[in-house]
């Protein structure tokens, strides 16, 4: 009898539906990594920094250093004042349109409204050979795959399907190391003033060749300005 009960239990187990296992997670569909490529004109400054030009909110162009070690976009306070971009209480500003020469356009870019001490120092002493207006950092550069060949006058930027995480500040407030570095920039500015600041080069767009059309009203043959030498007026 005991043997029959055991056989019946085994039969019920065999007929019972299998336990529901966790369904394997479906693999994410393959993403398109690269989208559009751009050729960005650049040049090396006297300090061997990579310099590109950019327009902000349709104004400019302004000179920016491409710095893969910088965490974010910095735009000098002087330029932001001309653009009418005010910083919030934490020093951030929003730029409606940031356009790098060569076709790269970023909309609603958040960046720091300040002049880093490095730019203050180089501008004060004229070290770069050009007036610097800001730094392009990780929050923009991480969206592109960059190819740089120093034998060419353009570098490749290819848009990636990647959104960099927001930058988390590790130093806040006024004081400490940050204040010391800002003081160094101010000191270099004073030194540059005492030595005689180098003249700032004029900012002008690159030369181009094109055709511009202008719509004008057709001249009537009966107008008083009918040119001489073309015979009598018709009619």
What does the pLDDT look like over 147-206, one tens digit per residue? 999 999 999 999 998 888 887 766 544 443 444 444 444 444 444 444 455 545 555 555
Give the model confidence (pLDDT) of 166-175 as tens digits. Answer: 877 665 444 4
β-strand 154-160 against 134-136: which pairing, if any?
unpaired
For the entire predicted model, the pTM comes to 0.63
Query: 227 φ, ψ to 5°?
Result: -65, 150
How many whole angstroms separate alpha carbon 232 and alpha carbon 67? 71
> Which of residues 184 and 30 earns the better pLDDT score?
30
Cα 29 to chain centroid, rounded: 29
CB atoms within 10 A of CB 40: 21
How many whole angstroms separate alpha carbon 41 and alpha carbon 54? 11
| pLDDT over threshold 90, residue 138 | yes
| pLDDT over threshold 70, residue 48 | yes
Give the residue carrying structure tokens 């003033």: 193
Q: Are the C-beta atoms of residues 73 and 134 closer than 8 Å to each other?
A: yes
Q: Are the C-beta atoms of residues 161 and 31 closer than 8 Å to each other?
A: yes
Q: Are the C-beta atoms of residues 49 and 43 closer than 8 Å to each other?
A: no
Topology of domain 33-165+181-195, CATH: Cathepsin D, subunit A; domain 1 (2.40.70)
Q: Are the C-beta atoms of residues 195 and 125 closer than 8 Å to each other?
A: yes
How many whole angstroms separate alpha carbon 63 and alpha carbon 207? 17
Highest average pLDDT, of 6-10, 74-78, 171-175, 187-191, comes from 74-78
């Amino acid at each position: 009898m005991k043997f029959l009960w055991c056989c019946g239990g085994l039969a019920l187990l065999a007929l019972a539906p299998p336990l529901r296992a966790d369904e394997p997670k479906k693999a994410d569909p393959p993403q398109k990594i690269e989208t559009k490529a751009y050729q960005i004109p650049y040049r090396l400054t006297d300090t061997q920094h990579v310099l590109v030009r950019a327009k902000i909110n349709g104004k400019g162009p302004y000179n920016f250093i491409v710095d893969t070690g910088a965490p974010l976009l910095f735009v000098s306070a002087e330029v932001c004042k001309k653009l009418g971009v005010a910083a919030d209480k934490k020093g951030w500003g929003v730029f409606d349109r940031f356009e790098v020469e060569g076709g790269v356009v970023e909309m609603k870019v958040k960046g720091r409204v300040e002049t880093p001490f490095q730019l203050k120092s180089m501008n004060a002493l004229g070290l770069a050979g050009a007036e610097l207006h800001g730094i392009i950092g990780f929050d923009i550069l991480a969206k592109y795959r960059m190819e740089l060949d120093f034998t060419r006058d353009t570098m490749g930027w290819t848009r990636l399907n990647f959104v960099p995480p927001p930058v988390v500040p590790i130093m806040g407030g006024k004081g400490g190391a940050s204040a010391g570095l800002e003081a160094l920039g101010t000191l270099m500015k004073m030194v540059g003033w005492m030595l005689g600041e180098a003249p700032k080069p004029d900012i002008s767009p690159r030369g181009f060749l094109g055709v511009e059309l202008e719509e004008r009203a057709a001249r009537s043959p009966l107008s008083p300005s009918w040119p001489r030498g073309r015979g009598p007026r018709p009619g």
